[in-house]
Amino acid sequence: MAKLWAIIKREYLERVRSKWFVIATLFGPIFFSAIIIVPAWLSSRSKATTDIYNTAILDATGNGFGHRLAVNIAVDTTIPGRMPEVRVIAPSALTQAESLATHQVMQKEKTGYVVVDQQTLAGEAARYAGRNATSIADMAQIKSAIRETILASRLEKVGLDNSRMKEITFIPLDFSTERITEKGRAGSGIASVMFGFAIGFLLYASIVIYGQTIMSGVLEEKTTRVAEVVMSSVPTDTLLAGKVLGVGAVGLTQQIIWIVTTYVLLKARAPIMARLGAPTMSFTLPDISLGAGIIFLLFFLFGFIFYSSLFAAVGSSVNSESEARQAASPLMIMIISTAVFIQPVLLNPTGTTARVLSLVPFSSPIIMPIRMAVIGIPPLELAASLGFLAIGCLVALWLASRIYRVGLLMYGKRPSMREMARWVSYSR
């Protein structure tokens, strides 16, 4: 026990002391605050860029549609310079007017131009061309201005007066979304998807990073022959367990630091946003009960043990970093193909794909916590997932310890799959 402790202590302290760990741990919260605060800040700014006021309206309708559209785009006509320029054009001269406008956009005199014609009056089509054509906020504003103008002309036709028209067409809708689970209301839908994504990303990243950390650690011990000295003092299973637990504790330490700082940042989000001058959106954190927290932790631990023991086996069977990268590729494919499913699972967390992937041991440690973040999971499904994962862990550990103790003493050629299978059958 004291020897296992010595190994865990060494693995833990040597890594926590490393510059890399300190940098990554500090970088985490900065990164998280960036993904939490920056998009909100950007979206608050991207309501409308001033670019859309410098557009030209090519009006080929012949009934003054362009002028009304200009007023609708400007919204507030008392501010100078907000009215788009209106060019009333005969339908036959439209091609020529468009090429002139295109030229002006190219010369950066104009941002872009809107073409309105008979089809627009009929509510069928309108066109925009300009440098800001990819800006979703700009296009949405122009599009809704055109809709409003069409609606207004139609209402005018049926005899509604101007003041009533504004009243009817003005709809400042604030559409908020909230999720409901078996336990009741559970915060905004976007928040839980973001939360699910964050959990998935965190699990994925820690498995990849710390799995490879273990792999190169094992490889270093093998190539420096430290492994032989250690093996002459403790059984190989103890060495393997010490490594997995020690490095696992490093990963857990880092995640706890990340989660706590992220939580604090989210709590302090309102004052930070206020200071940046951005409005705070309603954003309730999903409620995580203690029970759910423990289940998350179990998935992390089991997933970590599953992958890191296999990474350790790979590290013990090779002789150089480049061989290790090659030999680890089947494991990497398993993890990456799981990560590919994070988004589909988030979009359809009750689908067959999501259900199957949360039962298979190699994908369940990432997929199941994501599903748990967005929907309620029946206890039976949860138990089955954890059960299969636990069995997977035992199999992985058994396989890994057998490959590990033979591999550490084998130098020279990289073993084939068949040779590794034979190692498993060696007594010792």
53, 82 in Cβ contact below 8 A? yes
58, 101 in Cβ contact below 8 A? yes
Paired sense of beta strands 127-130 and 85-88, if any: unpaired
* Among 42, 228, 268, 274, interactor with other proteins by CB under 8 A: 228
Token duo for residue 136 = 């979703």
User: Tokens 């916590």 sit at which residue?
Assistant: 369
Nearest to 346 by CA among 325, 375, 310, 314: 375
- Type and span of the H or E element at 55: strand 55-59
* Among 125, 229, 270, 394, interactor with other proteins by CB under 8 A: 229
* Among 49, 119, 223, 261, interactor with other proteins by CB under 8 A: 223
CB closer to other proteins out of 260 and 409: 409
The residue type at 176:
S
CB of 421 to other proteins, least distance (A): 11
* Among 50, 77, 95, 233, interactor with other proteins by CB under 8 A: 233
CB closer to other proteins out of 94 and 410: 410
The residue type at 289:
S
Q: Which segment (130-138, 145-153, 180-188, 223-231) binds other proteins by CB under 8 A?
A: 223-231
Q: Is 224 in the site for other proteins (CB under 8 A)?
A: yes
Determine the size of the site formed for other proteins (CB under 8 A). Answer: 25
Q: Is 424 in the site for other proteins (CB under 8 A)?
A: no
Phi/psi of residue 88, nearest 5 degrees? -85, 125
The residue type at 335:
I
Q: Is 143 in the site for other proteins (CB under 8 A)?
A: no
* Among 143, 164, 166, 225, interactor with other proteins by CB under 8 A: 225
Q: Which segment (35-43, 228-236, 290-298, 320-328) binds other proteins by CB under 8 A?
A: 228-236
Nearest to 371 by CA among 336, 347, 338, 335: 347
User: Running DSSP on this structure, what letter comes out for residue 131?
Assistant: T
* Among 115, 186, 230, 259, interactor with other proteins by CB under 8 A: 230
Q: Is 16 in the site for other proteins (CB under 8 A)?
A: no
Token duo for residue 265 = 């940042």
CB closer to other proteins out of 3 and 179: 3
Q: How far apart are the first and last CA of the chain?
A: 22
Paired sense of beta strands 55-59 and 112-116, if any: parallel
Phi/psi of residue 288, nearest 5 degrees? -110, 120
The residue type at 416:
S
Q: Is 226 in the site for other proteins (CB under 8 A)?
A: yes
Q: Is 417 in the site for other proteins (CB under 8 A)?
A: no
CB of 13 to other proteins, least distance (A): 8
- Contacts of other proteins in 18-77 (CB under 8 A): 18
- In the complex, the residues that contact other proteins under the rule CB under 8 A are 2-3, 6-7, 10, 14, 18, 220-221, 223-226, 228-235, 409, 422, 427-428
